[in-house]
Amino acid sequence: MTFKKSKIITSIVLILLSISILLMGGCSGSPASAPAPTQAPTQSPAQEQQKPVELNVSAAASLTDAIKAIDDLYMQKNKTVTVVANFAASGTLQQQIEQGAPADVFISAAAKQMNVLQEGGLIINDTRRDLLNNKIVLVVPSNSTLNITDFMDLLNDDVKQVAMGDPEFVPAGTYGKQALDLLGITEKLQPKLILGSDVRQVLAYVESGNVDAGIVYSTDAAITDGVKIVADAPDEVNSKIVYPVAIIKSSNKVEAAEAYISFLFSNEAKAIFEKYGFSPVNK
């Protein structure tokens, strides 16, 4: 009986000693056994450049077809970039930018609107470059039976309405008015003039036959069979037409905007501009 008790006590002691050892081991884990802290993976500069970017481009209405084609190509080559284009009259775009509308790149159809933004400190000056040339033409509906072959023919009695862009906002209208001024017929034509909000609206007026003639860019006339060119504006006017491009100072995507502008001067983009009748500036 004494032997059995001793054996039982010994067993209990061994069990308690084992439990004690286990408890001590759990409470005093060594640093080596602790899991290594996880660190957030760092991104290389190349990986950071692959972050999705939405680039806002404000472009003159006359550039609509060419810029859409160029943007499609650019996004195919740059999968992480989404180009959001805003097309309107250059004067309208200028005002939008002045009022804080989102814009990273501005392409104007005339120097005037870019000059205003530059004087207001709203563009990055050293990013401004002349991109394209264009020319002003007189167009009539393709089925016109009126004998209009020159700007002076707009004074004929059978010509009732002539469309052009509003000279205050639409560069094509500004250049058109300069042509009329140079020819000395602005005042006589005043009762016939219908002013459009942008050059594409003027083109639509002529295509539909709602007016007898219109003053647009040659590039606008080139995109439709609904009109035909009957005369070019005087060289004194057409030699002044230039499309400047620049980055907006408030942009927080300057690097992406610079890459986009560089592409506009690439041979691939130049080929598209030429397809739509523009003359890229070679500099």
User: What integer pLDDT is reported at residue 87 of this predicted model?
Assistant: 97
The total of other beta-carbon atoms located within 10 Å of residue 201's CB is 18
pLDDT at residue 1 greater than cutoff 60? no
pLDDT tens digits for range 97-117: 999 999 999 999 999 999 999
Q: Which domains does the chain have, with CATH numbers?
A: 53-133+242-280 (3.40.190.10), 136-238 (3.40.190.10)
User: Over the stretch 39-85, which tens digit does the pLDDT of each residue have?
Assistant: 444 444 444 457 899 999 999 999 999 999 999 999 999 999 999 99
> Read out DSSP for 172-216?
HHHHHHHHHHHHT-HHHHGGGEEEESSHHHHHHHHHHTSSSEEEE
Distance CA 112, CA 103 (A): 18
pLDDT digits (tens, 9 = 90+) for 115-133: 999 999 999 999 999 999 9
More confident residue, 273 or 43: 273
**Alpha-carbon dihedral sign for residues 27, 32, 37, 38:** negative
Separation between Cα atoms, residue 137 and residue 196, nearest integer Å: 16
Quick check: 11 pLDDT over 80? no
* 29 has pLDDT over 70: no
Distance between CA atoms of residues 139 and 233, nearest Å? 11
